[in-house]
Amino acid sequence: MKNIKGFKVAAALYTILVTTSCSTAPEADGTLTFVETDADNTLTVCHFNQVKNTIDINLSDLIEEFKIVRFENSDSALFKSYGLCITDHYIGIRQSANLPFLLFTHDGKLKCQVGAIGNGPEEYNQSIYDEVINEKTKEIYLASFAFLPKILVYNTDGKFMREIATKERLSKPKVEVDDDRDITIIHMPFENNKEKFLAAVHDKNGSFKQELKPTPNFLQKDFNQEIFAYHNVPGFSFFLTSSDTLFHYNKNANKIYPKFKMDFGEVSETPMHIYNEIPGYYLTAILWGKGVIAVNKEKQTSNYARLINDFFGHMEAPMFNFSNGWFYQMFESGQLITQIEKRLAESNCSEKDRKQLKELLDTIDEEDNNILFMGKLK
C-alpha cells in the first residue's frame, strides 16, 4: 500500500460537514470533536496532536472468555496464517495465494479444506480477500482479491454450493451476511468500470436487491489504495484509505454515514494508519511502531493503549487484533516460546504468572503447528 494520500480529500469533506452542520465542543479530555452530519448521525473526530497519555487496558475488560487453541500437527493442517475468521464453533484460516482456505474446530482439529485452487467454476485461483462463516446455514462465503464478478459459497464440509453473481468485477471486496441472510458487499469501485457500485446487497438466493453508487471520493484509478472492514459492530463498518474516514453502510437506508476520523493537523507528512472499531472503542493503528490510539466512545477520551492479557501471564497483546467479533493473537510455536521467555525475564512477572507461563512453555515444541489465543468480544 502506498503512503496514504486520502487526507486532503477527507479534509475537504470534513470542511463541508463542519460548515453545513452543527459541531459540538468536546466535554471530556479535549481530544475529540463531534460533528452532526445528519439528523441521526454524528462524526467523531480525534485530534492527533492532543493525544498524549498511554493507558493499559486489560483483555478481560473486552472479551467474555479466553481460549488457547493448539492446532493439530498433521501435514494437511499445517499453515502459515494470513487471515482468520472465528465463529462460535469454527476457525477459518485464509492462507496466501495458491493455498486453500482451511476450516478448523475450536479444539484445533482440521474439519476440511474449503474448495480448491484452480480455474474451474467451483474453484478460486487467487488470494481470498474476505470471508464469512455462517453457522446457522452452515455456509462459507469466499471473496477473491479482484477481477471476479462473483462470491463463491461452500458448505462447512468444504463442498461447493453455489455462486453469487455481481454486476461488476469485484476489487478487494468485503462481505457481510446478516440475520436475514442478505449478502452485503462493499468494494473499491474504479473510474473505468461500467457498472460502478460502492455497496451492493443480494438476497439469500443471490438475487440482486439494491446498490449504492459511489461519490467521486470513493472512485479509484488503480489498486494502490486499500479497504478494511473488521466486522466487529452492528452495521457495516469500513475504511477506504482514499477517503481516510471510517464509515458505516446502512443497508435499510442505503446510505453511507461517516463515523470516525483522525485530524492530523499541520503535520509534515500524515502517518500511515488504519482504523478499526469494536463496541466500546474506535481504534487507530499508527503504523511503524507508533502504537494504537483507543477512543473510548462512552467516556469520550483518547489515549495510546497497551492491551494486557490478564488471562495469561499479563503478557502484552496486540491492541488492534479484533475481527468478526473476536480477539485473536496467532503465534508460530517458536515465536510463542520467545514471547513467554521474554515475559518470564521481566521483573514485574508475579509468581502466579510465572507458574502459568512455565506450564504452557513446557508443553510447546518448536515444530508444533500454530497456537492461537482468542476470545469473544463482550
CA gap 374, 63 in Å, rounded: 9
**What was the pLDDT predicted at 121?**
81
Q: Which grid cell sits at 21?
A: 452542520
Judge contact between 95 and 101, C-beta under 8 A. yes
Using alpha carbons, select from 9, 38, 124, 57 the residue that is nearest to residue 295. 57
DSSP reduced 3-state for 355: helix
For the chain, what are the domain ranges? 7-376
Find out whether 204 and 221 touch, Cβ atoms under 8 Å. no
> What CA–CA distances, in Å, run from 198 to 58, 150, 175?
37, 15, 12
Q: CA 311, 313, 319, 320 torsion: positive or negative? A: negative
Question: What are the cell numbers at 247?
Answer: 464509515
Asked if residues 111 and 105 have their Cβ atoms less than 8 Å apart, the reply is yes
Collapsing DSSP states into helix, strand and coil, what is residue 364? coil
The reported pLDDT for the residue numbered 126 is 76
Query: CATH homologous superfamily for 7-376?
Result: TolB, C-terminal domain (2.120.10.30)
Task: Give residue 88's Cα distance to chain centre.
Answer: 17
- The whole-number mean pLDDT for each consecutive block of 10 residues of the chain, a chain of 378 residues, reads 38 40 64 93 96 97 97 95 92 90 98 91 86 96 93 97 94 95 95 89 96 93 94 96 95 96 90 96 92 97 98 98 98 97 97 98 97 98
Handedness of CA 201, 328, 247, 8 (dihedral sign): negative
- Closest C-alpha to 240, from 270, 182, 199, 279: 199
Closest CA to 103 of 374, 94, 112: 112
Cα-only R_g, the chain? 21
